[in-house]
Structures are given as C-alpha cells and as structure tokens.
A = this chain, B = another copy of it.
C-alpha cells in the first residue's frame, strides 16, 4: 500500500471525505460513534491529517530531514556537517532535529517531520523499535539509517561502521606493547546498536589475544556511574582502557588527571571516535576512527539514490571499516 490518504480513511470508515476532514478539524455535527470510528480508522491506517502526507508525496520539496541524538557530541556534529554539506551540493536543504538520546523526543521530532514536505530522511535512531520509527518506516518515505540501526527493523538500509577492523588493530598494538590486563568501558543504556556491537567485537577479539579475562565495566551519562567505573578498573589493576563511547573517555580522562594517574605512562587509553578534543589533549588520545565524514556522505548517496529511483529497491547495507590511530596515550605496559 502506498501512502495513506484521506480518501483511504473515508473508504475504510464508510464516510465521506468531507466528514473525515471535518471530524479531524473538530468541525461539523457528527455522532460520537462516527467520530470514534474515524479516529480509530485514522490510527489504524496511520493517516497523517492535514493532507501533509499528500503534500509529502506530491512533488519534490528538495528537503531532507536529519535526526541525530546529540549535536554536542562532536562525532554527531561532524556527521551533521558532512551530511548537510553534501546535500547542499546536491541542491537540498536539511531540516535537523535531535533526540537527546531519548526515544520520546526522537518520536516527537519524527512526528513533526512527517507533518512537513520532505523528500526523505537520514536518521541516527535510538536502538529500540518505537512508534515513531514504525511510523517513519510505514510512510514509504525514502529513509536511511546512519551510524546505528534498529534491532528488528530490516526494511531500512543502513550505513554503519565496522568495529572489528579498528579494534583488532588497537588490541594487537596493546598486546605487542605488553599489556595483559585490559579494561573496557561499555555504555549499554544508550540503546545504540553500534555501541553495543563494539562490546561484542571487543570480547571476541580479546578472547583470541589475552589469557586473562578483560575487565568490562558499564557507564551511563551520570558522574556517579563514571566514577564507579574507574574504581572498578583500578581495582582490577588494568594497564590499558578501551572506551566505546567518547563522552565517557573524556569524563574518565578528567578523573584520571584528578588522581594523578598519567595517561601514556601509567595507563594506556584508546577511545572510539575521531573528535578534535582528543587531539588537543596532552598526550593526544589514540582513537578508533569511524571515518564519520565518509559515513555521512555514503548515507546521503544511498538516500538520493532511493529518492531518484522509480522503483524503491532495497539498497545494500554498507559497513565502513574503522581504523586505529596510534597516539601518545598508548605506551608500553608498566612493569608489575
């Protein structure tokens, strides 16, 4: 089925188009039964009132929606920038929204977006299925997931990074430098498919390299959880720490400074994400780069192909290899 129109609602409910329109606008005199019927039909069919849906399909608006979790995270700021720049080159405007890593805010923005005429959307989704994501998928609107995917939603093509390549290089390097007790900081509460996949990759690769079980701790966005994570890592006497989520790395680097534990001497540090702050620190922090610019551009390429395609064939998913970048924060393991 294509896009749901007011005509579909009227037919299904067995009332006139005018009746549907009036009821949705709170006008006209109709029985409560009829009102309920129309509202139920609207909900069932997923009709977007205000003929917004129609408008979306009617003609090219040369506008694309872009949803990211948090632009204060420089990784997403870079992603937005590369997406916007390429869309601008291709003659498109970009309407950006953020979810603040919150499913309800994500869904609120999707709702807003669907009320407008857009040609397609690029979404960094919260990792869980939600009414908003379901609605977006149901619209038959050209759609691409970037950086993350949604478990259980397989109809939307995605471009994500492949954590295995960069993690393999990073852990090989740490192993060669004599590290044997490795710590890993996960961030499961994000509900990010990609961040969680890094943990799986880390466990697999570490199991092949190290005799000793790595120490895996979990952070959320609270200061308390980060402090607790550090306490556990220090208790396990790790000589190297790998961070899945760069805001955790920045917070824990601060805490290490406070305790006068020298990075690049006492402990080696590697974090995911190629953000400027890591280059500005002393020593600079080694990274597993997701090549975010490339990811953004490939997402746009996939989206524009879908917008231009006469028939919406499902696009190929893409995985962009991560790359390890060695820097001063990685050193020979301290003796003992």
Residues of A within 8 A of B (CB): 1-7, 17-18, 21, 43-44, 46, 48, 50-51, 54-55, 57-59, 61, 63, 70-72, 74, 77-78, 80-81, 84-85, 88, 93-98, 100, 105, 108-109, 111-112, 115-117, 250, 253-254, 276-277, 280-282
> Which of A4, A81, A84, A96 is most buried by chain B, counting CB atoms within 10 A of its CB?
A96
Whether the pair B58, A46 counts as a contact (CB closer than 8 A) is no
> Contact at B72–A78, with CB atoms within 8 Å?
yes
Q: How far is the CA of A54 from the CA of B96 in the complex (A)?
A: 24
With A85-B100, A88-B105, A109-B93 as given contacts, are A17 and B3 in contact (CB-CB < 8 Å)?
A: no
Closest Cβ of chain B to A35, distance in Å, is 17
Instruction: State which of B1, B78, B117 has its C-beta within 8 Å of the C-beta of A7.
Output: B1
Residue of chain B at shortest CB distance from A282: B282
Cβ-closest 10 pairs across A and B: A3-B58, A93-B112, A96-B96, A282-B282, A72-B77, A48-B51, A95-B95, A71-B77, A71-B71, A116-B116
Neighbouring B residues of A44 by C-beta, 8 Å: 17-18
In the bound complex, do residue A50 and residue B51 qualify as a contact, i.e. CB atoms below 8 Å apart? no
B250 pairs with A280, CB closer than 8 A: yes
> What are 16 residue pairs bridging A and B, where the CB atoms are less than 8 Å apart in the complex?
A18-B43, A18-B44, A21-B43, A46-B54, A70-B81, A72-B77, A72-B78, A74-B77, A80-B98, A84-B98, A84-B100, A93-B109, A93-B112, A95-B97, A96-B98, A277-B280
Across the interface, name the chain B residue whose C-beta is closest to A2.
B58
CA distance A88 to B3 in the complex (A): 27
Rounded to whole Å, the gap between the CB of A129 and the closest CB of chain B is: 21
Apart from A70-B81, A116-B117, what 8 extra A-B contacts exist at CB < 8 Å? A1-B5, A48-B55, A71-B80, A72-B78, A74-B74, A81-B98, A250-B276, A250-B280
Closest to A6 in B: B46
Docked Cα-Cα span, A280 to B109, in Å, equals: 33
Q: How distant is A64 from chain B, measured CB to nearest CB, in Å?
A: 10
Minimum CB distance partner of A56 in chain B: B3
Contacts of A5 in B (CB 8 A): 1
CB-CB under 8 A from A21, the residues of chain B are: 43, 46
- Cβ contacts under 8 Å, A281 to chain B: 280-282
**Are A81 and B74 touching (Cβ within 8 A)?**
no
